């Protein structure tokens, strides 16, 4: 527990970083990004969240910013507090700040529908408000009758990512097509079947099989590929998390009425070719972490909890190899492990130990392509959900391991670490890594960093060597630079 000093805390300060906020372009008016919840112990244990509307509440020209008291909240039915909402610069200074006092009912919200003009935040003053594409917001809340004294500091982060997937579906023998024809789509965040139903000429069904609740949004753009290879759009559908929870979706498609009248174009050799493009956006929350009131030291306050006890027990099993039933073998070292724990954290390990593969009965898994240190770090995360002493080089290797074994939260953490630790000396290596693993989100972040630091990077020997060895990647960066400059010129 934090050491008690003179003066009791009578408030709470909550800082929230929203990473990759430019990926929130699909948000609609009056649709908020909601922060992880935080508890204001000094205000009768009340529970709060911040609501940020990037497209505004009523007027899309403004960003809306509100403080919300949660419905499942301790304390009285109503409480009067004073609160300060702010956008922070990279140095922690206030770029925009507004203070107000209001009475909050359970489930009630107060704040500012026109907190700041969107153009200022996302265009003209983007470098100040969105360094590394991250918006930092802060809420200070305290008793309306008192002056803030030694508030508790909390910190959380939300990271958005966007993946794009596309594929073609060739349907042969269309003239004798039976209803209910299925084609499976599977992504890290969602799995569903595309089903051509009895009314195939007007719609198809999306039958959701499994869903990762980090996913916030998905769009499905459907087209017909004609005999000349040209794509003709027949409909686009957009869904949010609550839509996907319903299980079955039926996007309306406008197939050409002349589909059957012009078979030579749309049904060559009695086959229908469909092209699907999916855009999937996910949001991952990290929080809340508690800091001491002395922000200069920012000492993390750790309290022993049931979760910590469980983690300690799992770490002991990992360290001591208690009841291990398999081994991970590198070229120089063997790591005892537990099939159930590996399977719970990695679908790749689950397939190894469930299907008829050699690892199921051999008692070992050969992973000679990974270094000892990388395997050690990967296992530490699998067992304890923690990382220790990461550097860019070790984070890059751990990222590759997480991608190989589909440990998605670890992959996301490594990606975030790499973004936050980009330097002119390592940007090219991270760009190659992102491209190799088809990580469009990380790749875009590195490209943006290179363009921001272009004066230092483009004149370096590293960049000259990079152009010789990775011409296409270098060309992509330059194309993006030209595209951005043309956008500025036309504004």
DSSP-assigned letters across all residues of 322-344: TT--EEEE-SS-EEEE-HHHHHH
* Band of residue 302 on the pLDDT scale cut at 50, 70, 90: very low
Query: What pLDDT, on a 0 to 100 scale, did the predictor assign at position 247?
Result: 74
- 403-447 pLDDT per residue, tens: 999 888 888 889 888 988 899 999 999 999 999 998 888 998 899
* Band of residue 318 on the pLDDT scale cut at 50, 70, 90: confident
pLDDT above 70: residue 189: no
* Band of residue 18 on the pLDDT scale cut at 50, 70, 90: very high
449 and 484 both lie in a single domain: yes
146 and 169 both lie in a single domain: no
45 and 144 both lie in a single domain: yes
Domain for residue 157, yes or no?
no
pLDDT above 90: residue 81: yes
Q: What is the CATH number of the domain that holds 208?
A: 2.60.210.10
Q: Higher-confidence residue: 210 or 174?
A: 174
- 123-146 pLDDT per residue, tens: 889 889 998 889 999 999 998 777
What is the tally of structural domains in the chain? 4
**Residue after which a domain boundary falls, among 150, 175, 207:** 150
341 and 426 both lie in a single domain: no
Domain for residue 295, yes or no?
no
268 and 358 both lie in a single domain: no
362 and 430 both lie in a single domain: no
Query: What pLDDT, on a 0 to 100 scale, did the predictor assign at position 298?
Result: 34
Where does 197-344 show beta strands of DSSP type E? 205-211, 215-225, 231-240, 248-249, 272-291, 326-329, 334-337
Output the six-digit token pair for 284: 């991952």
Domain for residue 329, yes or no?
yes
Domain for residue 64, yes or no?
yes
Q: How far is CA 252 from CA 196, 197, 200, 203, in A?
A: 12, 12, 10, 5
Domain for residue 214, yes or no?
yes
**Residue after which a domain boundary falls, among 350, 371, 392:** 392
pLDDT above 50: residue 174: yes
| Least reliable range by pLDDT among 4-8, 180-184, 360-364, 385-389 | 4-8
Q: What is the CATH number of the domain that holds 485?
A: 1.25.40.420
- 207-217 pLDDT per residue, tens: 766 666 677 78
483 and 429 both lie in a single domain: yes
- 462-491 pLDDT per residue, tens: 999 999 999 999 999 998 888 776 654 554
pLDDT above 80: residue 287: no
Q: What is the mean pLDDT of residues 241-268?
A: 75
Output the six-digit token pair for 346: 């990695």
Q: Which residues pair with 15 in a beta bridge?
A: 138, 155
Domain for residue 3, yes or no?
no
Query: What pLDDT, on a 0 to 100 scale, did the predictor assign at position 213?
Result: 66
141 and 16 both lie in a single domain: yes
What's the CA gap between 163 and 146, in Å, rounded? 48
* Band of residue 194 on the pLDDT scale cut at 50, 70, 90: confident
Q: Which domain holds residue 336?
A: 317-392
54 and 121 both lie in a single domain: yes
What's the CA gap between 46 and 79, in Å, rounded? 9
pLDDT above 60: residue 309: no
Q: What is the CATH number of the domain that holds 339?
A: 3.30.710.10
Where does 10-60 show beta strands of DSSP type E? 11-19, 33-34, 38-40, 46-53
Domain for residue 400, yes or no?
no
373 and 485 both lie in a single domain: no
* Band of residue 150 on the pLDDT scale cut at 50, 70, 90: low
212 and 139 both lie in a single domain: no
Query: What pLDDT, on a 0 to 100 scale, did the predictor assign at position 3?
Result: 33
Q: Which residues pair with 314 in a beta bridge?
A: none
279 and 169 both lie in a single domain: yes
Residues in the chain: 491
């Amino acid at each position: 527990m934090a050491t008690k000093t003179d003066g009791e805390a009578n408030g709470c300060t909550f800082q929230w970083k929203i990473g990759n906020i430019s990926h929130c372009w699909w948000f609609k008016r009056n649709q908020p990004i909601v922060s992880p919840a935080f508890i204001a112990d000094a205000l009768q244990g009340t529970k709060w969240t911040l609501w940020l509307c990037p497209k505004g509440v009523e007027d899309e020209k403004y960003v809306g910013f509100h403080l919300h008291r949660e419905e499942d909240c301790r304390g009285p039915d109503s409480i009067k507090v004073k609160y300060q909402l702010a956008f922070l610069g990279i140095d922690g200074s206030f770029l925009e700040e507004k203070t107000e006092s209001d009475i909050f009912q359970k489930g009630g919200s107060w704040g500012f529908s026109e907190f700041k003009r969107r153009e200022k935040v996302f265009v003209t003053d983007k470098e100040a408000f969105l360094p590394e594409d991250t918006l930092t917001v802060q809420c200070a809340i305290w008793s309306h009758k008192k002056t803030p004294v030694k508030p508790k500091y909390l910190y959380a982060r939300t990271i958005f990512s966007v993946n794009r997937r596309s594929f073609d579906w060739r349907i042969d023998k269309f003239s004798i097509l039976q209803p209910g024809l299925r084609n499976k789509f599977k992504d890290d965040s969602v799995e569903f079947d595309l089903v051509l139903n009895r009314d195939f000429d007007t719609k198809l069904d999306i039958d959701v099989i499994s869903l990762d609740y980090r996913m916030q949004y998905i769009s499905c753009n459907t087209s017909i590929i004609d005999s000349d290879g040209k794509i003709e759009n027949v409909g686009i559908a957009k869904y949010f998390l609550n839509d996907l929870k319903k299980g079955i979706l039926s996007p309306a498609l406008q197939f050409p009425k002349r589909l059957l009248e012009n078979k030579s174009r749309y049904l060559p050799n009695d086959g229908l070719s469909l092209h699907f493009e999916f855009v999937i956006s996910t949001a991952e929350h990290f929080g809340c972490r508690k800091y001491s009131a002395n922000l200069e030291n920012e000492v993390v306050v750790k309290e022993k909890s049931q979760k910590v006890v469980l983690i300690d027990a799992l770490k002991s099993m990992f360290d001591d190899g208690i009841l291990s039933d398999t081994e991970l073998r590198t070229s120089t070292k063997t790591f005892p492990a537990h099939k159930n724990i590996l399977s719970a954290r990695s679908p790749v390990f689950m397939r190894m130990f469930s299907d008829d593969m050699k690892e199921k009965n051999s008692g070992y898994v050969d992973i000679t392509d990974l270094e000892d240190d990388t395997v050690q770090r990967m296992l530490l995360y699998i067992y304890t959900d923690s990382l220790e002493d990461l550097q860019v080089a070790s984070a890059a290797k751990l990222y590759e391991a997480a991608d190989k074994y589909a440990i998605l939260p670890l992959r996301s953490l490594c990606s975030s670490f790499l973004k936050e630790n980009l330097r002119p000396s390592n940007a090219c290596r991270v760009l190659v890594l992102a491209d190799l693993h088809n990580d469009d989100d990380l790749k875009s972040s590195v490209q943006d960093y290179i363009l921001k630091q272009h004066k230092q990077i483009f004149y370096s020997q590293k960049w000259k060597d990079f152009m010789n060895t990775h011409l296409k990647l270098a060309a992509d960066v330059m194309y993006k630079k030209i595209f951005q400059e043309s956008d500025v010129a036309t504004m």
